[in-house]
Amino acid sequence: MTLKKTSKKIRMAEASWRGRSAAVLPCLLLCWASGALAKETPKDAFYLKNGDRVVFYGDSITEQRLYTSFAETYIVTRFPKLNVTFVHSGVGGDRVGGGWMGPIDPRLDRDAIPYKPTAMTIMLGMNDASYKPFDQPTFDTYAAGYRHILDKMKAADPGVRFTLIEPSPFDDVTRKPGWDPGYNSVLLKYSDFVKQLAASQKQNVADLNGPVVAMLEKANAADAAGAQKIIPDRVHPAPGGHLIMAEGLLKAWNAPSLVAGVTIDAAGKRASGTNTAVSGLAFSGGMLTWTQTDSALPFPLDTKDETLMLAVRSSDFVAALDNEPLMVTGLASGSYTLKIDGEPVGTFTTDQLKAGINLALLPTPMLKQAQAVHALTWKHNDIHSLRWRNVDFPFLGDKSPGVRKALDGLDALEADVVRQQHAAAQPKPHKFALSPQ
């Protein structure tokens, strides 16, 4: 199934994600800050390394550039000092043997190998299983083709690291399956193969099926009509579905949940933080002030997107990837307004502040900064898509100077935007103030 068949609703959802601003979400505002800071060091280091070049490879679901862009923005904002580059290389309708943009070998020769990836994700299977009950010859073609992709990439660069992605789900949760037990049951057999292949080749694996199905089940129980909008055509997720897919990939990469965490004892005038620097703490006349420079940014959740937020509420996304706790004790009983850089971001009781609030869910300057980074993520990927789809592919084999000049110009433009993206993610100091009401 090609991206051209994606519903208009999905395209509108993708566009709306780019332009919307975040707002406070009361039902997710409180966090478990008392234990958050102690649980933030992962057992294993983050998967990506400085200097990595990542290629996202797949079919139309990857071509949507949503789970991939979400993952990229998370990495750029959570690790602003990390130098990692990303190429989004999904083609609608693709199978392990390739598709309308060429057979698999020319496709890899053009769309993956030239970028010399040190890390590559592969998500194929939705089309390979042919939207029918499990068929052994069809599966055998998939298995052989998948192995061929790995062999060809390793021949080009033996050191490339793979994250093999279990196919994202066909939605048999919010609609009645076409047959018992449904098409997703076939995709799960393909997922089992992907897990076994990853294990046999000692490569990483990411589950983008199970977590999305679990989210759909919870969303369907809470809001059946809204849940159907998460994967409107049952194949291509809207942003909410892609967000949970991105979470699955990031979890496979040992992504930390903590953005930054601060604990303040106002009475004792003491502050401690994780992944941040706190200075200038003062407490006078019931007002608490300090300067905070976080080493990372929160994820730019679009809390105005109702379908996306249904997916968030039906998952552990915030707990797993977007925790920015602020705990304040030692205040007189009452309510306090929090301002950052002079702008109010919320009013909280002393009990709420003592328990901890999650700044990641507030309209803070840090969130606005993350939104600016995400806009640049889209911008550089739009430029790359233009280069690839409108110049490189149509003029394949054309050695004329004009074509080379166009390609070089678009490469230079994208590199400029990537530099802007990384610059926009760098830490900034912010002045905090808690004032009694």
Confidence class of residue 9 from pLDDT cuts 50, 70 and 90? very low
Query: What global pTM score does this model have?
Result: 0.92
Confidence class of residue 19 from pLDDT cuts 50, 70 and 90? very low
What is the pLDDT at residue 28?
53
What is the pLDDT at residue 43?
56
Of 404, 372, 358, the C-alpha closest to 80 is 372
Considering only residues 27 and 200, tell me which one the structure prediction assigns the higher pLDDT.
Answer: 200
Q: What is the dihedral of CA 376, 379, 384, 385, to 10 degrees?
A: 140
Whats the size of the chain, residue-wise? 437
Give the whole-angstrom CA distance, residue 132 versus residue 410: 41
Positive or negative, the CA dihedral 304, 306, 309, 313 is positive
pLDDT (tens digit per residue) in 246-259? 999 999 999 999 99
Which domains are delineated in the chain? 26-42+256-437 (no CATH), 45-255 (3.40.50.1110)
The conformation of residue 258, written as its DSSP 8-state character, comes to B
Q: Is 81 helix (H, G, I), strand (E, B) or coil?
A: coil
pLDDT (tens digit per residue) in 135-180? 999 999 999 999 999 999 999 999 999 999 999 999 999 999 999 9
The conformation of residue 178, written as its DSSP 8-state character, comes to S
pLDDT (tens digit per residue) in 87-117? 999 999 999 999 999 999 999 999 999 999 9
Mean pLDDT of the 182-208 span:
98
